DNA sequence: ACCTGAACACCGTTCAAGT
DNA sequence: ACCTGAACACCGTTCAAGT
């Protein structure tokens, strides 16, 4: 939440890691992943680069902190003591939406194997698998499958945002994708061409959730004790 | 000098996109993702930077071409007219092994949504789903789930290679991971701590395949007509 | 057509110096 | 302790000039 004590005074406030991370998130959100430089940061915070390095070790740590902040918020909203299967879907959707709102997170998340952000997701999902009744031996594999799937979608979404940075319109975006797909040789890419026709009625979020459900169905099939 | 007509002469041969890509792959393999610079390339190829720009538009295109080359090789080895389920596993494993051998590909692949490399994987998997008997409506979602999972693992493996660049030993590598996991607060991360104990008997490749099988099981459950 | 390599604009990071 | 900002080493890319 907000800083304790005096609030509101932003300009005169002392520099802190939180203020730096907050400024970094603002820059990343407004201008995209490539726009975060120490020069842009010093301009926005009205300091020198050395001041930032006093609070933050380097750019990687700054990026990790910014990513952690976004994921933390998303996970906090997805707490709900709901039924475990639904809880997993909620967590996954929360992360999807967070990355949709902050595409640069999608590029950063896969780069943080054991950073706090990744572990929070892993923990959140793994805990629900336990509640779901997945046998202990299979839990690691199942959590890993779900997390890796989420990370893959995250990376793709970030790449899409990078490529189609201009298009704000959703249909224009889908049209652009369909055009790219149509560019491929039909003889060599029959499936791609065939699927391109379905792009009109396609919804990224729904497809993401369909993938989660697919994996959950697989988990259910595998962890059913009467199975084989 | 007098090697004009000779085909196989490599050193004296003229510059070409293929030779540049080949040199880029050698640098990336030998020194990692961060080591590919135009200066390193010019040194290895004994030219000026302008010569490289004559054959290649920019660094992104070079990286995409290098990634495409590795994926093409992996896909070519995974052709086999086997049973579709087995073919999908073979393709997935082929990509896993390619990324294991060239970790920088794992970082690059998620950045190429509609580049040739990505589409080849998507096509290869989608085609087998058709052969598997997955109904047309579900095929897009199923292919997307498998591909996104593969991309997620790719990104994680690349990140691991970056973080543990020093450790060659497999047990040292696993020990290092277990240490990272143990650093987290046990009260806040019970699942992570619990799973850390399983890390000793853990095999990345097997876990990757377990995830593929999980998704395939989900696909089977969803596309069974008598279901529901 | 193809290649050379100096030059440009920009970057992350450091550090002596200030308060 | 915290901040300043010039300086350093390095980067991708361009381009006038060569062959």
Write out pLDDT tens, residues B105-150: 999 999 887 888 999 999 999 999 999 999 999 999 999 999 999 9
d(CA A188, CA A169): 31
Grade residue A4 by pLDDT with cuts at 50, 70 and 90. very low
Phi, psi of A47 (to 5 degrees): -140, -170
Q: What is the pLDDT of residue A67?
A: 97
Protein-covered nucleotides on strand D (Cβ within 7 A) = 2-7, 10-17
Q: Mean pLDDT for chain B?
A: 89
Please say if the pLDDT value at position B216 is more than 50: yes
Give percent of chain B above pLDDT 90.
69
d(CA B53, CA B161): 30
Residues 6+ apart with CB under 8 A from B113: A156, A159, A160, A163
Among residues A89, A114, A110, the alpha carbon closest in space to that of A99 is found at A110
pLDDT, mean of residues A13-24 = 94
Instruction: Write out pLDDT tens, residues A100-116.
Output: 999 999 999 998 878 88
Give percent of chain A above pLDDT 90.
70
The CA–CA distances, whole Å, from B202 to A62, A143, B173 equal: 32, 14, 11
CATH ID of A82-227, from 3.40.50.1980, 1.25.40.10, 1.10.357.10, 3.30.70.20: 1.10.357.10
For B80: left if phi > 0, alpha if psi spans -120 to 50, otherwise beta; the answer is: left
The answer to whether A177 CB sits below 7 Å from nucleic acid chain D is no
Residues 6+ apart with CB under 8 A from B138: B219, B222, B223
Lowest mean pLDDT among A9-23, A205-219, B29-43, B58-72: A9-23
d(CA A131, CA A127): 7
Instruction: Write out pLDDT tens, residues A166-184.
Output: 777 778 888 888 888 888 8
Contact (Cβ atoms closer than 8 angstroms) between residue A40 and residue A27 = yes
d(CA B48, CA B143): 43
pLDDT, mean of residues B96-108 = 96
Helix/strand/coil (H/E/C) assignment for every residue in A42-111: HHHHCCCHHHHHHHCCCHHHHHHHHHHHHHHHHHHHCCCCCCHHHHHHHHHHHHHHHHHHCHHHHHHHHH
Please say if the pLDDT value at position A13 is more than 80: no
- Provide, as residue numbers in chain A, all residues whose Cβ is less than 8 Å from the Cβ of B222: 213-214, 217
Straight-line distance from CA B47 to C1' D18, in Å?
14
Contact (Cβ atoms closer than 8 angstroms) between residue B69 and residue B117 = no
Q: What is the pLDDT of residue B52?
A: 98
Lowest mean pLDDT among A154-158, A171-175, B156-160, B216-220: A171-175
Please say if the pLDDT value at position B228 is more than 50: no
Please say if the pLDDT value at position A119 is more than 50: yes
Lowest mean pLDDT among A18-27, A75-84, A124-133, A155-164: A75-84
The CA–CA distances, whole Å, from B205 to B24, B111, B145, B208 equal: 27, 23, 19, 5
Residues 6+ apart with CB under 8 A from A52: A15, A20, A38, A41, A42, A45, A62
Q: What is the pLDDT of residue B53?
A: 98
Contact (Cβ atoms closer than 8 angstroms) between residue B129 and residue A82 = no
* H or E segment to which residue A136 belongs: helix A136-163
d(CA A75, CA A104): 17
Straight-line distance from CA A16 to C1' D5, in Å?
19
Query: Strand C neighbours with CB under 7 A?
Result: A 36-40, 48-50, 53, 58-60; B 14-15, 46-51, 53-55
Give percent of chain B above pLDDT 70.
92
- Provide, as residue numbers in chain A, all residues whose Cβ is less than 8 Å from the Cβ of B113: 156, 159-160, 163
Choose the closest CB to B144 out of A107, A163, A211.
A211
Instruction: Write out pLDDT tens, residues B151-197.
Output: 999 999 999 888 887 777 778 888 888 888 888 888 999 999 999 88
Instruction: Write out pLDDT tens, residues A45-102.
Output: 999 999 999 999 999 999 999 999 999 999 998 876 789 999 999 999 999 999 999 9
Q: Enumerate the domain spans of chain A.
A: 82-227
**DSSP state, residue B14:** P
At B14, list the tokens: 């003229």
Choose the closest CB to A207 out of B122, B141, B191.
B141
At A31, list the tokens: 């201008």
At A226, list the tokens: 């009467």
Please say if the pLDDT value at position B37 is more than 60: yes
How many residues are listed for chain A in this entry?
A: 228
Grade residue A224 by pLDDT with cuts at 50, 70 and 90. confident
- CB neighbours (10 Å) of residue B104? 26
Q: Mean pLDDT for chain A?
A: 89
Please say if the pLDDT value at position B48 is more than 60: yes
Q: Is A178 on the interface with B (CB under 8 A)?
A: no
Contact (Cβ atoms closer than 8 angstroms) between residue B163 and residue A113 = yes
d(CA B133, CA B40): 49
- Provide, as residue numbers in chain A, all residues whose Cβ is less than 8 Å from the Cβ of B115: none
CB–CB contact B141 A198 (8 Å)? no
The answer to whether B130 CB sits below 7 Å from nucleic acid chain D is no
């Amino acid at each position: 939440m907000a800083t304790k004590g005096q609030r509101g005074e932003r300009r005169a406030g002392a520099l802190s890691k939180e203020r730096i991370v907050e400024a970094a998130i603002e820059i990343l959100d407004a201008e995209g992943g490539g726009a975060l430089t120490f020069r842009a940061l010093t301009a926005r915070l009205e300091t020198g680069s050395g001041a930032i390095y006093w609070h933050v070790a380097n750019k990687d740590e700054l990026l990790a902190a910014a990513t952690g902040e976004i994921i933390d918020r998303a996970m906090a909203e997805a707490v709900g003591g709901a039924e475990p299967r639904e809880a997993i879907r909620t967590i996954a959707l929360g992360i999807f939406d967070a990355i949709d709102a902050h595409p640069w997170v999608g590029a950063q998340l896969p780069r943080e194997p054991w950073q706090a952000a990744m572990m929070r997701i892993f923990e959140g999902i793994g805990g629900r698998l336990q509640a779901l009744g997945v046998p202990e031996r299979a839990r690691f594999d199942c959590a890993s499958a779900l997390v890796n799937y989420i990370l893959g979608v995250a990376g793709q979404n970030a790449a899409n945002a990078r490529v189609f940075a201009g298009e704000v319109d959703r249909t224009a975006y889908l049209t652009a994708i369909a055009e790219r797909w149509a560019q491929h040789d039909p003889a060599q890419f029959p499936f791609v061409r065939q699927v391109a026709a379905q792009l009109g009625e396609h919804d990224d979020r729904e497809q993401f959730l369909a993938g989660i459900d697919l994996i959950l169905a697989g988990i259910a099939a595998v962890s059913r004790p009467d199975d084989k």
